[in-house]
Amino acid sequence: MHIRWKHVAIALAILPFAAVFAVWTGLFNVGAASGHWKITDWFLHFAMQSSVRTYALPVEVPEPLPREGLAAAAGHFETGCAVCHSSPDVPRDAWARQMLPEPPALSDVLASDKWTDAELFRIVKHGVRFTGMPAWPTQDRDDEIWAMVAFLREMPDLDAKAYRDLAYGPSSANAVAPAVNDLETLVADCARCHGEDGMGRGDAVPVLAGQQRTYLEESLVAYAANRRESGVMTQAALDADADLFADLAAYYADLPRADMETRTAPGAELVERGRAIAMEGLPDDDIPSCDSCHARLDRNPAYPAIDGQKHHYLQTQLELFAEEKRGGTSLAETMHEFSRHLKPEDIEALAAYYSTLEPQ
């Protein structure tokens, strides 16, 4: 008995060296062309499904799934996901079919009830190791990921035309190749989400028309450098030629501000409370008057105009500031100084108030 244990111990000690030696010989095939053995394939997908199921347990699913960002999510799917997963409009790229494992055509997967909403959230946020399925470009924007989950739920019901209408809107542009360097093509690409009039498609996409030029340009720089967190806009900014950021900013700053589509007006009491904070701040909570900057745009060309901005967008940005998840231009510090003191009810009131104002 004594001797047998000794043998086992020696064998265990040698095992790692034997394994490294076997790999060092190079006979282990890492090529993707010949595929996995069936058992490896089964095992890997089993491991992935089990992991996703377990890590999705604590995820809280918003009820109902948010729909404000549906158009932007579809637009992002077109440039960020369809190459690997197909869309109702185009099949996935040929090279994607040679990946190991091969990314599935998602409409087929989603038509079944293989994944719950929480599991889809987990996959899209964190990606899948060893497979080529990427994580969301930032871990700070759960709202964008929920918008993507809402879109994924919708996708199996969309035919090619309905999908294009959602991902492109009335814009006739096609998804552009990365680093495009002519303004006209780029503006057509931005129009997929921001609309040809710069008013934004859906309540999650901000109005750019008439916004301050310097603020727009510096925001594009911030997205491209990942100093402002958004998976959707970081991709759009990186796909554009940075030499054209100044021209893009000037283009949108000069667009006339169109009338906003009619929306339900927030309650008068909420708006009144928002107005009071905007004008006087909340000195007890160290919150300054918002208007001291946002109503005095002449003081600094990098202060954004927020009068008449989209309600849902304002609310999201203030929540991100309060949670210390929103970077931005070199002046973002001025917002960071006090934003963590903002309470949910302050944010609600301020977003309501500013969304009802006439644009400056």
Residues forming the site for ligand HEC (CB under 6 A): 45, 48, 72, 75-76, 80-81, 83-85, 96, 99, 101, 103-104, 106, 109, 114, 120, 123-124, 128, 131-134, 148, 186, 189-190, 192-194, 204-206, 208, 211, 216, 219-220, 230, 232-233, 236, 240, 248, 277, 287-288, 290, 292-294, 302-304, 306, 314, 317-318, 328-329, 331-332, 334-335, 350
| Alpha-helical regions (H) of the chain | 2-24, 38-55, 70-80, 82-85, 94-97, 106-111, 117-126, 142-154, 160-168, 183-194, 213-224, 231-239, 245-254, 268-280, 291-294, 311-322, 333-339, 344-356
| Interatomic CA distance for residues 258 and 209, integer angstroms | 8
Among 142, 264, 282, CA closest to 203:
264
User: Rounded to the nearest whole angstrom, what is the least distance from the CB of residue 203 to ligand HEC in the complex?
Assistant: 10
| Interatomic CA distance for residues 69 and 71, integer angstroms | 6
Choose between 88 and 103: whose C-beta lies nearer to ligand HEC: 103
Burial degree of 247 (CB within 10 A; 0-12, 13-18, 19+): middle
| Interatomic CA distance for residues 135 and 80, integer angstroms | 11
User: Rounded to the nearest whole angstrom, what is the least distance from the CB of residue 169 to ligand HEC in the complex?
Assistant: 10
* DSSP symbols for 156-206: GG--HHHHHHHHHTT----PPPSSB--HHHHHHHHHHHH-TTSS-SSTTSP
Choose between 56 and 302: whose C-beta lies nearer to ligand HEC: 302
Which residue is nearest to ligand HEC, using beta carbons?
Answer: 328
Burial degree of 304 (CB within 10 A; 0-12, 13-18, 19+): buried
Choose between 14 and 179: whose C-beta lies nearer to ligand HEC: 179
Choose between 6 and 114: whose C-beta lies nearer to ligand HEC: 114
User: Rounded to the nearest whole angstrom, what is the least distance from the CB of residue 13 to ligand HEC in the complex?
Assistant: 34
Choose between 11 and 50: whose C-beta lies nearer to ligand HEC: 50
Choose between 133 and 150: whose C-beta lies nearer to ligand HEC: 133
Whether the CB-CB separation of 209 and 252 falls below 8 Å is answered with yes
SS3 334: helix
User: Rounded to the nearest whole angstrom, what is the least distance from the CB of residue 330 to ligand HEC in the complex?
Assistant: 7
User: Rounded to the nearest whole angstrom, what is the least distance from the CB of residue 30 to ligand HEC in the complex?
Assistant: 16
In this structure, what token pair is assigned to residue 150?
């809402």
User: Rounded to the nearest whole angstrom, what is the least distance from the CB of residue 139 to ligand HEC in the complex?
Assistant: 14
| Interatomic CA distance for residues 68 and 193, integer angstroms | 12
User: Rounded to the nearest whole angstrom, what is the least distance from the CB of residue 63 to ligand HEC in the complex?
Assistant: 20
| Interatomic CA distance for residues 28 and 323, integer angstroms | 48
Choose between 66 and 134: whose C-beta lies nearer to ligand HEC: 134
| Interatomic CA distance for residues 67 and 107, integer angstroms | 19
Choose between 14 and 323: whose C-beta lies nearer to ligand HEC: 323
Whether the CB-CB separation of 232 and 79 falls below 8 Å is answered with no
User: Rounded to the nearest whole angstrom, what is the least distance from the CB of residue 20 to ligand HEC in the complex?
Assistant: 27
Choose between 162 and 238: whose C-beta lies nearer to ligand HEC: 238
In this structure, what token pair is assigned to residue 176?
């552009």
User: Rounded to the nearest whole angstrom, what is the least distance from the CB of residue 343 to ligand HEC in the complex?
Assistant: 11
Among 52, 42, 50, CA closest to 124:
52
